[in-house]
Structure 1
């Protein structure tokens, strides 16, 4: 979000505009952390992709 602040804005006006900002959403990184469970060995998968 963008806030336009004039050069003549007082500290009170600036503080009021900052209070109106919505807090950013927190990202739940534990949702994405961990290992990917494959049904096959990683090396076999690479060989299959590369046609080796």
Structure 2
């Protein structure tokens, strides 16, 4: 959206532009709380993460 504010605009014009700017809903971020407690883990999350990261070092054969 492009709004033009011309030099010498009066207070009424500025307020109209502000209304247009703040009328649009701000983008909301990701709601991580929605997924809080959804997974039930059998081991410590940090241990699980380290195992996944070190998986490529293991000899699978």
Q: State the TM-score, normalized to the length of structure 1.
A: 0.53
5+ unaligned residues in a row in structure 2: which ranges? none
Residues 1-52 of structure 1 aligned to structure 2 (within 5 Å): 1-21=1-21, 22-29=23-30, 31-33=31-33, 41-49=48-56, 51-52=57-58
Q: Which has the higher contact order (CA 8 A, sep 6+)?
A: 1
Higher helix share: 2
Spell out structure 1 runs of 4+ moving beyond 6 A.
Answer: none
For this pair of structures, how many residues does the alignment match? 49
5+ unaligned residues in a row in structure 1: which ranges? none
SS in structure 1 at match of 2:54: helix
